[in-house]
Homo-oligomer: A and B are copies of this chain.
Amino acid sequence: MATLTPKQREILEREAKILDVARPMVVREGYHGLNMDKIAEKVSYSKGTIYNHFSCKEEIIIALAVQNSAKRVQLFQKAAQFKGCSRHRMIAISAAAELFVRNYPDFFQFERILQLDSVREKTSEKRQSIIHNCEMQCMSIVAGVVRDAVASEDLELPKQFTPEKLVFGLWSLTSGAYSIAAASDALQQMGIDDPFETVRDHIAALLDGFNWQPISDQYDIDKLLKRIQKEVLNDE
């Protein structure tokens, strides 16, 4: 169980190689650019062998998404360990989310493709649940910080308003913004040259709206972000 036979090694390496070849195809040419015959040609194995690894084209796309999905959890976990008050930890997680979008833009392209029912339908439950679990882990890290904030009385949520609802709002805001930013042309036209900065401002406003202490004018956001960068996200 411990070590692998040469054959097993070869299979693992080949799987990685297939994905390495497929990734730029999808990134550069989108869903229709991913071509099973071309992959087979590029990795110098037959099409049948590719199908031994992935049951269909769509399965390759979700496998590419899986490759990145754990990274976000890892970044969120590190960010949540930031030493500071609850709000500052929340900011740290936002910074992690921004970093993830900047460093792994491919992931969101894969996700957009997988949003189509007719694509996702063809993918395996197994990989679907890996991605789903990563997402849920991220959400629950954020929810944890929100609960800490409530516990420490930095934040008082309205009646009936659960921490999960706040997470949903933050998640919507950021994912919506990054999705619009990717489509892009509209933003230029509106004079928004740094969407990331604007998202940060909106997160601050949203948290202020819930009166999550300390309010945004009570700390120096630039200094805070530098500290976050240095203390929990330095090696990215």
Kindly state the interface size class of chain A when it binds its partner. 35 or more
**A147-177 vs B, Cβ < 8 Å mask (1 yes, 0 no):** 0000000000010011011011101111111
CA distance A177 to B176 in the complex (A): 7
Q: Which of A175-212 contact B (CB under 8 A)?
A: 175-177, 179-180, 183, 185-187, 189-192, 195, 198-199, 201-202, 204-210
Return A63 CB to nearest CB of chain B, in Å: 18
Residues of B within 8 A of A29 (CB): 118
A179 pairs with B179, CB closer than 8 A: yes
Nearest B residue to A211, CB-CB = B208
Residues of B within 8 A of A186 (CB): 132, 135-136, 139
**Residue A46 at the B interface, CB < 8 A?**
no
CA distance A191 to B143 in the complex (A): 13
Of the candidates B118, B158, B162, B207, which one forms a contact with A31 in the assembled complex, judged by CB atoms under 8 Å apart?
B118
Q: Taking A205-B210, A208-B209 as contacts, is the C-beta distance between A176 and B171 under 8 angstroms?
A: yes
CA distance A161 to B112 in the complex (A): 30
**Residue A105 at the B interface, CB < 8 A?**
no
Return A28 CB to nearest CB of chain B, in Å: 10
**Residue A236 at the B interface, CB < 8 A?**
no
Residues of B within 8 A of A175 (CB): 176, 179-180
Nearest B residue to A217, CB-CB = B158
B192 pairs with A168, CB closer than 8 A: yes
Residues of B within 8 A of A180 (CB): 168, 171-172, 175
23 contacts between A and B (CB under 8 A): A30-B116, A32-B119, A112-B116, A113-B116, A115-B179, A132-B185, A132-B186, A135-B186, A161-B201, A162-B192, A168-B187, A169-B199, A171-B180, A173-B173, A173-B176, A176-B179, A179-B179, A202-B206, A205-B206, A205-B210, A206-B206, A207-B209, A209-B210
